[in-house]
Structure 1
Amino acid sequence: MKPLASADLPPSDATMLHALDLVIRGSTPEELDPALSVLVEFGLLDRFILPDAFGGGFRYVAAWVDVLKLLSGLGGVDLSVARILEGHLNALQLVATYGQPDQQAMVLRHAGRGDLLGVWGADATEPVRMHADGPGSWRLTGAKRYATAVGTVQRAVVPVTDDNGQIQLLLLPVADDRRVDLASWNHRGMRRSASGTFRFDGMRIGPSAILGALDDYRREPLFVGGIWRCAAAQLGAIEAVVAGICRELSDTGRDAHPLQMARIGSAILAARTARLWVEDAAARVEACSPDAPRAHIEHVVALAAYARLATEKAAMEVIDLAERGLGLASFAAGHAVEALTRDLAVYIRQANPDAVLLQHGRVLARRLSDGVTDDSV
């Protein structure tokens, strides 16, 4: 899909998106390396980290506006690439927040030489477990599935749940191709994300692999609150599909029909609604301190979760409008919206959306029933 022109995009990012678009057009749907080369060439893997003046650590210095522009821009070209960079940024933020100086120094070296990082949270049928293997030593068993860019990611942040239901983050080397199973990723969309399975059986780790304290991973607003970044990538695809609808119907004169114009208007409404939700969530989450009052954090997190739901709803509506408005031609390989709608239909699926709707709806409903209507950050 041709990248959307934007006066808000820095010239270097506009150039990057154009280069990425050309690479995507010349690649198969499964081919990842050429696209990653573009991210490395334009310095995206270490753009948002600032080395400490003293010591080997770093700070994560990503303004939400810049991240949203970047992820939505990438999402408008290729959702798999946007998803991969989102995971990389998530890993950087977690290591910057919870990592020791030596862990940060290692990650800084990885990012500086163009190595990809990831966060792999989904357990396979046999979940990843830590087993004591002597003083200060553990042996791992189990696997992670839906591991984005498996086989390409060099270091992954891996949450491991213990017998008490608490989660310990690990920072692990994952460059061993013998542990990778890409055959498990056979979905019709997001094929370029290479989200396969990685087995950890027999891997031995020491204290240097422990990232943060127990249950740091669940600390808000970074955990559920951070979902706004995924929504930002999806937003870019939604807006690109809407632009594709407008462009094709205008170029062929079909926008003269009132029903087609109604589809265009409905698509614009859906995309704009999603953008307002995502921008609001990003601003609130990134301004919220983990030490803020609990009720405030819960409110911010609930709005971020609902931003993801609003984006999912907008995506489904826009996909339907594209298919109905553009017809059978939009399903053809190589059509301007075909890959975007196919990838978007897969990427918007999240674990247990009904629970998200109910759990966070209770938070928002309670606030309203208490008469709190001031939504200022």
Structure 2
Amino acid sequence: MTAFSLEPGQRAWCAELRRLAAERLRPLADKGEPGHVNRPLVAELGALGLLPRLFTSGALDLCLMRESLAYACTEAETALALQGLGAHPVHAHGTPGQKERWLPQVGDGSAVAAFALSEPGAGSDAAALSLTAHPDGPGRWRLTGEKCWISNAPEADLYTVFARTTPGAGARGVTAFLVPAGRPGLTGTGLDMLSPHPIGALGFDGVPVSADDVLGEVDGGFRVAMGTLNLFRPSVGAFAVGMAQAALDATLEHTARREAFGGRLSDLQSVSHQVAEMALRTEAARLMVYAAATAYDAGEGDVPKRAAMAKLLATETAQYVVDHAVQLHGARALQRGHLLEHLYREVRAPRIYEGASEVQRGIIAKELYKELSKNPEADR
């Protein structure tokens, strides 16, 4: 298998995921309340064996899951992704006790996880975190500060929280903590956001944590965060590709049967060329996502650059495709309940979260110049 061609078994699995999303997950998603965790939906993802697969599969597998689910049920895709994002640091860096306690519950959907990195003053600049872990005796700290724009907050059961343990040390002074909901001093409020999935703010008023709650090493939390994001950024691109493909397919069907100006819309060159451009960009984004995921699975050294490129291209492409799909559908696409109205609201946030598009461009440029500096021919 190459980065550019899926095997028959993988294609069949993607088709099965789309079927399950439409038949078993979509009805549960429709019963959910916007802005709140849909626990029956999360539990069904566990019952289908998709949540445990988050911890046994590679990056390409994760991308195929997210793209396939997004095509038919963005709510199910997001619920799956947030479980993975919140619990991956436990899977990758947790102690045996942490893993034994939480991963089975995350896997069966009985516990909801969250990744708490962003703050009111440190969204894209993860190294500028101000949530502080104040020493409270040997191997103990008190967390004080705020987190903001945290998916699944304040309803999650466990949070991967990144806090500053060494003042003035930038990225080198951050530690990752596993903080269960219910800890004294931990509060949260929901935020009314454009995206339909739950997003909230968290307050930490001397929340107690200990060495038993550390994920990885003290002052090594930035590596935990970036390792998680390098895995999940290509799959954010896969989420975007799934939405773009859904919008493209809806547009193909609509323009092929819609009568206007004495013929079908598809007969108009301006329309057919636009659809061709939408298809071109969607496929290009898909290939870059698969290539980045394959590079991650192969352990290649340029994963940060590839992951950033995949997320950037795919999320910008999805915005383009969904916007043009709405334009070609006309006013009907703006009605509440229309697929494209839903996708139009969903597609905007991925260009911001897990590193805004501008941040991805910065990562790409940084990696390019780093490669140049290692090239012995660079000074010629």
**Shorter-chain TM-score: what band?**
0.7 to 0.9
Which residue of the partner structure matches residue 89 of structure 2?
94
Cα offsets for 1:333-373 (capped at 9, x unmatched) = 1112110121101222244533431442253367589599x
Which residue of the partner structure matches residue 125 of structure 2?
none
Where 1:222 maps in the other structure, the secondary structure is helix
Distance in 2 between the 1:106 and 1:13 partners? 31
> Is 1:361 the equivalent of 2:365?
yes
> Is 1:272 the equivalent of 2:279?
no
- Pick from 329, 333, 338 the counterpart of residue 330 of structure 1: 333
Q: How does 1:1-377 map to 2 (within 5 A)?
A: 7-9=12-14, 11=16, 14-30=19-35, 32-33=37-38, 34-48=40-54, 60-114=55-109, 115-125=111-121, 127-162=130-165, 163=167, 164-165=169-170, 166-175=173-182, 179-182=187-190, 185-188=191-194, 190-191=195-196, 193-213=197-217, 214-218=219-223, 222-226=227-231, 227-252=233-258, 253-288=264-299, 297=301, 299-350=302-353, 351-364=355-368, 367=371
Where 1:153 maps in the other structure, the secondary structure is coil
1:366–1:101 distance in 2 versus 1, CA, 3 Å: closer
Cα offsets for 1:298-325 (capped at 9, x unmatched) = x221121111111122122212311221
Distance in 2 between the 1:246 and 1:138 partners? 57
Residue 46 of structure 1: CA displacement? 2.2
Distance in 1 between the 2:225 and 2:175 partners? 15
Residue 212 of structure 1: CA displacement? 0.7
Where 2:154 maps in the other structure, the secondary structure is coil
Cα offsets for 1:65-99 (capped at 9, x unmatched) = 32112111222234344233223223443222211
Distance in 2 between the 1:371 and 1:344 partners? 42
Report the more deviating stretch, 223-232 or 277-286: 223-232
Matched-pair contact (CA < 8 Å) for 1:153–1:175: no
State the AA in 1 paired with 2:272.
M
Q: Structure 2: any 5+ residue segments left out of the alignment?
A: 1-10, 122-128, 259-263
Distance in 1 between the 2:97 and 2:188 partners? 27
Q: Structure 1: any 5+ residue segments left out of the alignment?
A: 1-5, 49-59, 289-295, 373-377
Report the more deviating stretch, 168-177 or 341-350: 168-177
TM-score, normalized by length of structure 2? 0.81
Distance in 1 between the 2:187 and 2:310 partners? 36
State the AA in 2 paired with 1:308.
K
Distance in 2 between the 1:156 and 1:335 partners? 34
Matched residue pairs, number? 344
State the AA in 2 paired with 1:179.
T
Matched-pair contact (CA < 8 Å) for 2:161–2:177: yes
Distance in 2 between the 1:28 and 1:139 partners? 34
Distance in 2 between the 1:371 and 1:220 partners? 32
Distance in 2 between the 1:220 and 1:347 partners? 18
Where 1:203 maps in the other structure, the secondary structure is strand
Residue 281 of structure 1: CA displacement? 0.5
Where 1:142 maps in the other structure, the secondary structure is strand
1:219–1:47 distance in 2 versus 1, CA, 3 Å: closer
1:140–1:221 distance in 2 versus 1, CA, 3 Å: closer
Distance in 1 between the 2:344 and 2:157 partners? 30
TM-score, normalized by length of structure 1? 0.82
Residue 329 of structure 1: CA displacement? 1.4
Identical counterparts, % of pairs: 20
Cα offsets for 1:198-231 (capped at 9, x unmatched) = 1121311221111111225426972442211222
Distance in 2 between the 1:132 and 1:366 partners? 36
What value does the CA root-mean-square deviation take over the aligned residues? 2.8
